[in-house]
Structure 1
Amino acid sequence: MSMSPPPGWYTDPSAPHLQRWWDGSAWTEHRRAPEAPQPGQAQQGQAQQGQAQPGFGPPQAQPMAQPLAQTRVQPLPGDSGGGGRAKVVALTTAGVVLVASIVTGVVLLGKDDGDPQSGPVAPTTAEPEDSPTPTSPTPTTSAPDPDPSTLVDQLNGITIPVPDGWEKADSTVGGDPTVRTPDVYDCPGEGSLCRHGTVYSRTSTATDERSAEALAKGDIKDAADRAYEEDRVGQQPFGGIKRHETVAQGSVAVAGRSGYYVRWRVHTEKGEGGYVQSLAFPSSVGSESPVIIRFAIDAADGAPPLSDMEKITKGIRAVGDSETGGGVGSSVGATP
């Protein structure tokens, strides 16, 4: 495994007559002319073996090898020039070989085949000493709702108002755009939690019927079953429906389109039951597929007023249209 040389001035691989600063991991753009070594610094540089500091010359092979190459072999005390002298010669030769190996290593470290950005080989996993300590990701927060008072149903091309005391649901079973009451309570029957009010929109795809009246009358039983008979996960939050009666129905203008609504009062095995309404009208986008909006409001204490059904119906608009009116009791007149 190779190790990165320490920061310092080294011979510039792209301009050998200059020195270039190596920051420990890469070459910088700082260059300088080699400085003449001061007395005593040559020996210090030889001892450091490449650990040059700024202001000193780069490690040089020749000055480091010369003292050993010029060393005279002196006989040891008591040596007549025989075995003792041979030992000294052998040690000196070994030292020269060691120095030559070191010099070769220094030359190879500085070689870069002319690439000015390459430098001494550094481990690929090395990190700068001042790298920031990894920290836990900062929790992200969703952007605030630009209009919490309106639910947009892009598929059907409508917007549904969110009355006071209601909220838009972030997610629902089935994915239908939903407005609901924010508080929950323990269901009187099966299931864990119920809400006092729910309104959601859907596209009518189960039939080829185009009449708003026929659609509303055909959908009301399914809407009641969904709210008070059995939910989407197969539970009976109110113990099932005992009976129902129609309390209101009629034509209505919704977002300038001719629609029809049917409202039931539902009585359940457990709890107070509630009111269910199916509202059908043609969409103003695409092929004008019929849209059905289902309402369910409990008859129990704490439920929103029944007038919220009229308020929501009257406030439905086509996407991008804030002027088109409608509502229960309004005159019916489809927008051309």
Structure 2
Amino acid sequence: MTPPPGWYRDPNAPHLERWWDGTAWTEHRRPPETPAVPPAPPTGTTGGTAGTGRAKAIALTTAGAVLVGAIVTGAVFLRGDDGEPQPRTGPAATASATRLPPPSPSTPEPGTADPDVVEDQLNGITFPLLDGWVRPKHVAQDDVVMTTDGTYDCPGEGSVCRHGLVISRTLTETDQTSPEALAKEDISDAAEEAFGENALGEQPYGGLKSHEVVKSGPVAVAGRAGYFVRWRVTTGEGPGGHVQSTVFPSSVGTESPVVVRYVFDAGQDAPPLSDMDRITKGIRSVTDADSGGGVGSSVGPTH
């Protein structure tokens, strides 16, 4: 039985409450609210019996809230066969009594994620979430940080396709450090993965037939000197599309090279190619909110 939407004890931080939307946890969190207890009625007035009754009702209500909170906290962990606690994926159904109205989207709570930014914690960067783009949902590909909103029937094999994807990866299996060399090497793999054969052996676009380089050059990303290559690809079925590989050194850890891939189809509802440049220019380091860049910028590496 799936609990209804509401505030429940956060399974990862029991001292906080977290919003359950009915199917999954959201990023909205808050401190638990303490029930307000009104002052006791003055002594020596009429209606003392009624005042005592109200005080008892308040005490029972407070005790009930504490009991429900204890049930929720205790239900977060269940014992497995080996006696170790097993985390639950959602709140206990018995906690539905603590439901409260959801937070207003126009007034996010302090400490919650910026709704207009997507964070790649592994590579220490954030991406601007432009109009028409959403956080990934039900996406089979690895390392996807955002997609265009909605899906459509693939022109070739497969079930559904998306008009645009942005993918962020760390290039670890290479000794190469030159962003230019890495971008020129990655672009062919990016095009094949996007428009060729997928992991299931299907060809959603009828296979990759040809390509041409339409744009390439140095680019500053999150305050780091990088390089990008953009291809226009022709596919066996459908209108084809564009794919871009942008490589730059990470600003965290060992400064391993990061590749951001852009995959746009060329259909009528495809995102504008300018979104590639706008997203690239808006990439920031999580340690430096003022970092940025764009095509043609002369910002070099920072150490």
Shorter-chain TM range is 0.5 to 0.7
- Name the structure 1 match of 2:20: none
Q: Which amino acid aligns with 1:138?
A: S
The amino acid of 2:96's aligned partner reads T
Deviations 1:24-63 (A, max 9, x none): xxxxxxxxxxxxxxxxxxxxxxxxxxxxxxxxxxxxxxxx
Q: Which residue of 1 aligns with 2:239?
A: 272
The answer for the alignment partner of 2:297 in structure 1 is 330
The structure-2 alpha-carbon separation of the partners of 1:135 and 1:163, relative to structure 1 and needing over 3 Å to count, comes to closer
Q: Tell me the secondary structure at the aligned position of residue 234 of structure 2.
A: strand
Question: Is contact 1:151-1:177 (8 Å) kept?
Answer: no
SS in structure 1 of the partner of residue 294 of structure 2: coil
1:173 deviates by 2.9
Compute the displacement of 1:330 (Å).
Answer: 1.3
* Pairs within 5 Å for 1:45-64: none
Deviation of residue 291 (structure 1)? 0.2
Query: Equivalent residue of 1:138, what SS?
Result: helix
CA offsets 1:73-95 (integer angstroms, 9 cap, x no match): xxxxxxxxxxxxxxxxxxxxxxx
* Structure 2: distance between partners of 1:276 and 1:174: 15
Answering whether residue 276 of structure 2 is matched by residue 309 of structure 1, we say: yes
Q: Secondary structure at the match of 1:296?
A: strand
- 2:120/2:145 contact within 8 Å kept: no
Aligned AA for 1:156? N
**Deviation per residue, 1:211-269 (Å, 9 max, x gap):** 10010000001100111001232211000011100000001111110100000000000
| SS of the residue 1:223 aligns to | helix
CA deviations 1:108-127 (Å, max 9, x no partner) are xxxxxxxxxxxxxxxxxxxx
Alignment of 1:1-336 (within 5 A): 138=96, 146-170=113-137, 172-336=139-303
Structure 2 Cα separation of the partners of residues 135 and 330 of structure 1: 54
Q: TM-score, normalised by structure 2?
A: 0.63
Query: What whole-Å deviation, never above 9, does each CA across 1:114-145 have from its counterpart, x for those lacking one?
Result: xxxxxxxxxxxxxxxxxxxx976639999976
| Letter in structure 2 aligned against 1:176 | D
User: Gaps (5+ residues) in structure 1?
Assistant: 1-133
Range that drifts further, 171-180 or 226-235: 171-180
Q: What secondary structure sits across from 2:278 in the alignment? A: helix
Q: TM-score of the superposition, structure 1-length normalised?
A: 0.57
**CA distance in 2: counterparts of 1:272 and 1:177, whole angstroms:** 23
Deviation of 1:156 after TM superposition, in Å, equals 0.8
Report 1 or 2 for greater relative contact order, CA contacts < 8 Å, sequence distance ≥ 6.
2
CA shift, 1:175, in A, is 3.8
Structure 2 residue matching 1:320: 3-state secondary structure = coil
Q: 1:268 to 1:135 in 2, by over 3 A?
A: closer
Deviation, 1:277, is 0.1
Change in Cα spacing, 1:136 to 1:322, as seen in structure 2 (3 Å) is: same
Moved more, 163-172 or 193-202: 163-172
Matched-pair identity in %: 57
Q: Residue 177 and residue 272 in structure 1: after superposition, are their counterparts in 2 closer, same or farther (change >3 A)?
A: closer
Query: Structure 2: where are the runs of 5+ without partners?
Result: 1-91
Q: What is the CA-CA distance between 1:335 and the residue it aligns to?
A: 2.1
RMSD: 2.3
Cα pair 1:258 1:333 within 8 Å, conserved: yes
Partner Cα separation in structure 2 for residue 189 and residue 303 of structure 1 = 17
CA distance in 1, matches of 2:93, 2:187: 55
Q: How many aligned residue pairs are there?
A: 203
